[in-house]
Structure 1
């Protein structure tokens, strides 16, 4: 197998894998709205998606140096170098898979239309397609290798632990230099290492004739990270940890109650304000993602949970908590405290390009940015910021966009409570 091109690959994503990426446990049964959205995303992609696979083989492998070299290009991964050396790897498949641009464009349209649920389910399904393409591509390599008395190592990609994301460019250039036919679709690589279409992935599969070496090294057997249950070449069971997203609704009281149970004389916040997202979305997020605590001095502590997915690394799920402190209503809800941090137990942020490049600077940027600090909370309505709905936190524009969402949900919630208090005094 010197080259593989497929413009109509199998896209039958397993339900269990889709649920895993959505954050549900494997035994959870989708029903109601979630079932409707999952089926819609699958059907939409089946009709409109244009996935493709490209792979090319090279035998120019070197493991004598500290790092692995392919076609005399040095890759910055000792982990990969050691795996290739231990397995006696003599060849490799350079693979590029993509779910196509259609999914990304439709998801962007859904966001602009104020449909965050549809946006999320389609975004996640696009990521599931990419994972499925990598898995089935690996199966095809296994099938070919088995028939030729060889075996294939688990795929590894730039941005994985121990491999700098900057090597995305090296892998892409190696593919472009070794290909004998055109790629099935357009691909662009940004300086951050992110691919466009973002639902795309570069992967490297090692190949070895020394089958016994791989059998004796469990971590080099690809089956443990492969979800293809029907594979006839499976040697050990598939393992993939599944973590359920924390349901914060059980921690909340109703966000529709008047402030401190007290009626107020006038509204401090603009009623019927124009927000960047729809009222339906604000109402939903107010009930599901926002926690409020009214203190004895009438000041406010709020926590908003942002849920998204990374732009690269197959759309890893991530969660951040936005902690906002406001002064009392009589003081115009002055912003007195702002703090953003990854949610407890979530590690999705570790797969973002800027974190991989410089973890300390990345987290410091998130922690130190405090937009509108010291200003009356109503000023959030006049805060000019760039529209940037990407899930990642790699640039200030996308981080400001998320602060804006947190502010707007809280503003909407407080304005509704003020309105309810005013009606009680009318």
Structure 2
């Protein structure tokens, strides 16, 4: 991977207070105990996929790298921590000089993952690594959930266009992150201009029902839009009568009309009728775009409809029922002292139930069958088997506190296409099931 910029970093603020208070109080206690400097390894992973999902999608890595670079405490933040008596003086001194100086390895953005996959591995002193927990999980849990939903919708769309249009259905900053993650997962465009500006994602948009209602007649609205935006625009045809609106749209714009958008009704039936009408009117090249609370199941149900593109909002930006990936960030190895040469020792939570974890600094590789299709996610802590050496998944992201793996967003998008294509065909099924390949520990 190269050093190409992920996007415009416009007015990027410090991310240091995007954290839970207990990260700071742990640092305070560790500083007092003399254990804060112990070399440590943390890993981000999920114990299980969201119910019914067959694979996960890594997204947000580029945003994590930005967050790590911008994780520092300015005077105003330190004053807040002091005034609120959140941490003591020695801890404030430590935070004042904080810059992450460790190493980070992880699955590259756009790759798929499975239960137990060490999606991100953070190495450094205990104090510098533990401070990053909350912001890393916040980004990865959100963005990977959106990318997974987008991937399922992309598979259901079967190559037809996908428009991300969920900005009005989520927090304004989440909307930008959602558009980015959706683009990685297979969406083609976004309606959110901030996402287009920051990440160079293609943007689209024409008009809403309000524009039609503003004018005295639907004809006046169509004429105003075509005069302003050209014949290639997309006209919204379901404000009143769809059949009359389509006739009028072609009359005004001619056969060069770019597209019509349908936002209500029985989309399967209406799309067939509109396609027939457009063809009869000589507008055979005019596209049909459908919207209206779509998810992957609705998209799949329209596979037989003459639809050219889908616009998805609410279901996409909420992860289509799974708005988080349940990723956790756990200490898996640490030194017995502050000596940098001290050997790392595996550590793990051993509580009863599903919350136990596996200790040790891990590698991961994907084993393929004779046809080159993934058959297992193999995770280990010892030497990598020779046959898997060329299939390792983790790549270096940060070395000595310096980001070494920036890449264009299109690289992550292309990687996801390749990663998904390497999975068994059953991964594309929308029916509920277990992870499409097992996780094996060696």
TM band (smaller chain): under 0.3
**Greater relative contact order (CA < 8 Å, ≥ 6 in sequence):** 2
TM-score between both structures, scaled by the size of structure 1? 0.19
